[in-house]
Structure 1
Amino acid sequence: MEIEANRYRVKLAETPEEREAAQRLRFRVFVEEMGAEASAEQRTLRREWDDFDPYFDHLILETGERVADPLDRVVGVYRLMRGEVAEAGTGFYGASEYDLSPIAKSGRRVVELGRSCVAREHRGGPGMHLLWNGLAAYVLERDIELLFGVASFPGTDVDALAEALSYLHHTHLAPPDLRARARPEHYVEMNRMPQDAVNAARAQKAIPPLIKAYLRLGGFVGEGAYVDHAFNTIDVCVIMDTTRMTERYRAFYERGRRKS
């Protein structure tokens, strides 16, 4: 799979250098920009990785612009783990935060999304759209039925996000058959305000763009949040069921298939 447009190219990482370039971008965004923890080795190499990386497919967005370091050519990334790979390997990354048994037991083809990021200077332009087209092609080529993964709010102050978390709980909670739940030892209540006290417009402004994009495309959230102190984030579990897609969601992914 490979898609080119404007000055960008999106593809699956195939070489060690391409995977290292994805990790370099993750270091820039998650460690340098967002304040995630990193080991001394990661700081020396300026790459962010974990034990799950070998089991994921790494969807990368490359720029055609001239760069001094080849590892800076990747300006967007998605980490993708198919259900069959998780079963044969280490399991899903999100299982440390959420009980994913409703998803794992669904008997459907699934993929876990994670570590999504775009370099600051390439946000808000055609690059992100191309990365989403690459994700669309990946999903359609593999007949994926469920997409899920943890998505993050910056910071760890739950009270500051009470309205946004409550809004998600009241308006976008996943149906019971797909409702992943934060593990009891980490469970943070999202239902922090009664629904009639939530200002929807204000709550939506506090929701990060990636989570809002998932919701616009038919996504739900699991029950409970998780405070990830290592990454300086508050996580929610986002679930997208292709059989429950809105027509807009279907049209987006069908466009991705035609362009791939």
Structure 2
Amino acid sequence: MLDVRTNVQATPAGRYHVSLAVDDNEIREAQRLRYKVFAEEMGAHLASVLPGHDIDLYDPFCDHLLVRELASGEVVGTYRILPPEAAKRVGSYYSEQEFDLARLGFLRPRMAELGRSCVHPAHRSGAVIARLWMGLADYMTRYGYETIVGCASVGMADGGHIAASVHRQLAARHLAPIEWRVTPRTRLPVESLDDGRNAALPPLIKGYTRLGAMICGEPAWDPDFNTADLLMLLPMAQLNRSYARRLIV
């Protein structure tokens, strides 16, 4: 596993740092944070072998980015990264449970997948996400991966109207070319849910698009998390570097 601690700068306020988990104990910290956010806060139905933890079959194959608050030592943000070699060993990317990725086949040898992004509710100022992206940028550069892919979720507590609006707005300005389109396995009927009003884009999705990410088509419904998931793709060659510098430096 890659240790990125030596590349991290403390933020002026909060003093966070980012690293990759180096052992099972650190991975358990990430899994406890994920459980707190996804199950306790969002009400997701998680099938886990360890109470109070979000664990699935992909976790042992992933690298786990952690943002830790230095003052308390607590893990307050996490991403997991499934590199292409590990995706081959486990048999698929996580997002293939929700989407047919056949058209992305030619990208797979250098395509890393992001997932399970979450930040502790007391630390959602933006600094934690900035540190996660610092770690991710270092990871992608060191290993020479060329494409980032992953699901971005929109809550369905309102029945899906916000998700439909978010999809419409993104499709108008940030839709991937046809050769990068995917098909959802359980399609969200956006045409019947869109009431024409413009919902605010979730901050994480807005950040992705500012970096240069695109959506790869219509959203899928994830019944376990009760979210509409959009597959987002970011070729590193198309990264908006001026925005990235502001975000991760």
Settle same-fold status: TM greater than 0.5: yes
**1:160 to 1:47, Cα distance in 2 relative to 1, 3 A:** same
The 1-side partners of 2:224 and 2:171 are apart by 24
The 2-side partners of 1:178 and 1:252 are apart by 26
Which residue number in structure 1 is paired with residue 187 of structure 2?
187
Which residue number in structure 1 is paired with residue 168 of structure 2?
166
Instruction: Give the drift of 1:164.
Output: 2.0
Deviation by residue 1:42-62 (Cα, 9 ceiling, x = unmatched): 4xx311111111111101111
Which residue number in structure 2 is paired with residue 5 of structure 1?
10
Which residue number in structure 1 is paired with residue 146 of structure 2?
145
Deviation by residue 1:158-181 (Cα, 9 ceiling, x = unmatched): 234332222222222111122222
Which residue number in structure 1 is paired with residue 133 of structure 2?
132
Superposed, which structure 2 residues align to 1:221-240 within 5 Å? Answer: 221-240=215-234
Instruction: Give the drift of 1:191.
Output: 5.3
- Is the CA contact 1:108–1:145 (under 8 Å) kept in the aligned structure 2? no
Which residue number in structure 1 is paired with residue 78 of structure 2?
77
Which residue number in structure 2 is paired with residue 61 of structure 1?
67
Which residue number in structure 2 is paired with residue 70 of structure 1?
none
- CA RMSD in angstroms, aligned pairs only: 2.4
Instruction: Give the drift of 1:91.
Output: 1.3
The 1-side partners of 2:106 and 2:19 are apart by 30
The 1-side partners of 2:191 and 2:239 are apart by 25
The 1-side partners of 2:41 and 2:108 are apart by 38
Deviation by residue 1:11-47 (Cα, 9 ceiling, x = unmatched): 11011100000000000100001110134754xx311
Q: Which residue identity does 2:214 align to in structure 1?
A: F
The 2-side partners of 1:125 and 1:243 are apart by 24
Instruction: Give the drift of 1:9.
Output: 1.9
- Is the CA contact 1:169–1:190 (under 8 Å) kept in the aligned structure 2? no
The 2-side partners of 1:239 and 1:191 are apart by 23
Q: 2:177 aligns with which of 175, 178, 185?
A: 175
Q: Secondary structure at the match of 1:46?
A: coil
Q: Percent of pairs identical after alignment?
A: 34
Q: 2:53 aligns with which of 47, 50, 55?
A: 47
- Is the CA contact 1:23–1:49 (under 8 Å) kept in the aligned structure 2? yes
Structure 2 unaligned spans of 5+: none
Q: 1:212 aligns with which of 206, 209, 219?
A: 206
Q: Which residue identity does 2:81 align to in structure 1?
A: L
Give the count of matched residue pairs.
Answer: 240
The 2-side partners of 1:149 and 1:40 are apart by 21
Instruction: Give the drift of 1:210.
Output: 0.8
The 2-side partners of 1:60 and 1:152 are apart by 20
Superposed, which structure 2 residues align to 1:110-125 within 5 Å? Answer: 110-125=111-126
Runs of 4+ in 1 over 3 A off after TM superposition: 39-42, 189-194
Structure 1 unaligned spans of 5+: 68-72
The 1-side partners of 2:171 and 2:189 are apart by 9
**1:189 to 1:224, Cα distance in 2 relative to 1, 3 A:** farther
- Is the CA contact 1:83–1:110 (under 8 Å) kept in the aligned structure 2? yes
The question of 1:252 aligning with 2:236 is answered no
Normalising by the residue count of structure 2, what TM-score does the alignment of the two structures yield? 0.87
Instruction: Give the drift of 1:229.
Output: 1.4
